Homo-oligomer: A and B are copies of this chain.
Amino acid sequence: MLSNWNGYLDENQDRFLEEFFELLRIPSISADPAYAKDVRAAAEWVGERLKKAGIEHVQMLETGGHPVIYGDWLHAEGKPTVLIYGHFDVQPAEPLELWDSDPFEPVIKDGKVFARAATDMKGNLLLPIVACEALLQTDGALPVNIKFLFEGEEEIGSRSFSSFLDAHQDLLTCDLVISADSGVGTEDQPTVGTGVRGVFSAQINVKTAAMDMHSGFGGGIAPNAIHELVRILDSMRDENGRILIDGFYDQVHLLTDEEKKQIADFDAFPDAMRENVGFKEFYGEPEFTPMERGVARPTLEVNGIWGGYQGAGGKTVIPCEAHAKITARLVPDQEPKKIQKLFEQHVKAHTFRSVEVSIEDEHGTPPYRVPGNDPALRKLERVLEELTGHPVKRQWAGGSVPVTSLFKRVLGAETLSLGGSQDDERPHAPNEFYRLSSFTRIQKAYCLFLQELAKK
């Protein structure tokens, strides 16, 4: 079954690793406009890398936001067309002081690469590229038609991607999407992702006055923006994490017994997470298991808060401004637009007195599920079973891949996930890492899966 491409991959791993490091060194932080040129530099790097692999029609396409990189190889007549999706943008690296090494200068320790975006997803991005290079260099052709599509706004909710897809529907038409922004479990326990949560995000700004006040003069007389914000935020969740926004759960799909059983296959995951991250007790609605809450229940989290004096020592001030960033994870059949409306209504209802509260930066993406009987899903499961020698489990993820539901809507294609990330690799957090063993293993999985997809 393994052909020459396997030897090619083995022989070129040192070079692939150097390329991985080159890409990691580009701080392509899409959230911060100060890094826009780095996002573009990462796009250019990826485009050049595709060309080097033998991919054709490589081009940078503008979106209005950060650019997209496209490339294809379309000479497998009569075979399906697969669109491979990923992103070259990364999360901010803050808090910098919690990193053991420079987030943008990768280091290897114990077979792991430590850097921002090591696992999310610059390692994964290279997997299908080097797989196609190996196939082209050894077989002289790819088994199926391939289109690559890498974006630069995944970490900010893929906000330009919807209109981009609409505008390039013909170019991107395909039979199947593979998202490389993912993992397929461990070598001992392979998994396939069959669902992700959606997300709704927003920033709340509270303004109580034109300027800060001395807390001696104004205390007892003037409103305090932090207290007003705290009251609004505290009104959104009860002490068990249940969301108190009216109607928030109305569209939530109730789990079937079969779904509960499938989720329970992963009940060890929250325990491992707790140990890894170092929190002491699980948190969330007590009538669900931690794993059910983690993948099949919606959440609402304050991701950041700030207002008033944050420096050393004290400052006796009544702050006139306070801010919070919030995201909610959504599950079938919640709709982001509906959640946005409920969120806005809630904030309005809990805004007391004549305080100015504004909501900005609202965006959302729906949850997504792969149909259980999808034929490509079965092929992916067979490949992973062959490669690892273990039966594959189907898994829903708690995170979001905003584009999955977009691909379904615009291209009519389902999205499968094939990547090398594992759950303990600290995506979005300090000391993010990626296992080199995944880097080599999943390159092979890509070659095998593309070959499998060529079969009837």
Contact = CB atoms under 8 A, between A and B. Distances in A.
Interface of A: 30-34, 91-92, 94-95, 98, 155-157, 196-197, 199, 201, 203, 208-224, 226-227, 230-231, 233-234, 237, 239, 241, 270, 273-274, 277-285, 288, 290-291, 293-295, 297, 299, 301-320, 322-325, 327, 329, 352-355, 361, 397-400, 423, 426-431
B222 A233 contact: no
Q: How many copies does the complex hold?
A: 2
A411 B356 CA distance: 49
Given A233-B227, A282-B221, A314 B212 contact: no
Contacts of A353: 280-281, 283
Nearest to A397: B216
B315 A92 contact: yes
A378 B215 CA distance: 30
Contacts of A295: 220
| Of A234, A294, A309, most B-chain CB atoms within 10 Å | A309
Contact of A301 (B98, B318, B361): B318
Contacts of A323: 310
Contact of A215 (B31, B34, B299, B426): B299
Contacts of A305: 226, 230, 305-308, 310, 322
A89 B66 CA distance: 48
10 contacts: A91-B316, A94-B309, A214-B426, A215-B327, A216-B399, A221-B284, A222-B283, A226-B304, A226-B324, A314-B327
A316 B158 CA distance: 13
Given A234-B234, A314-B303, A316-B428, A197 B216 contact: yes
B234 A231 contact: yes
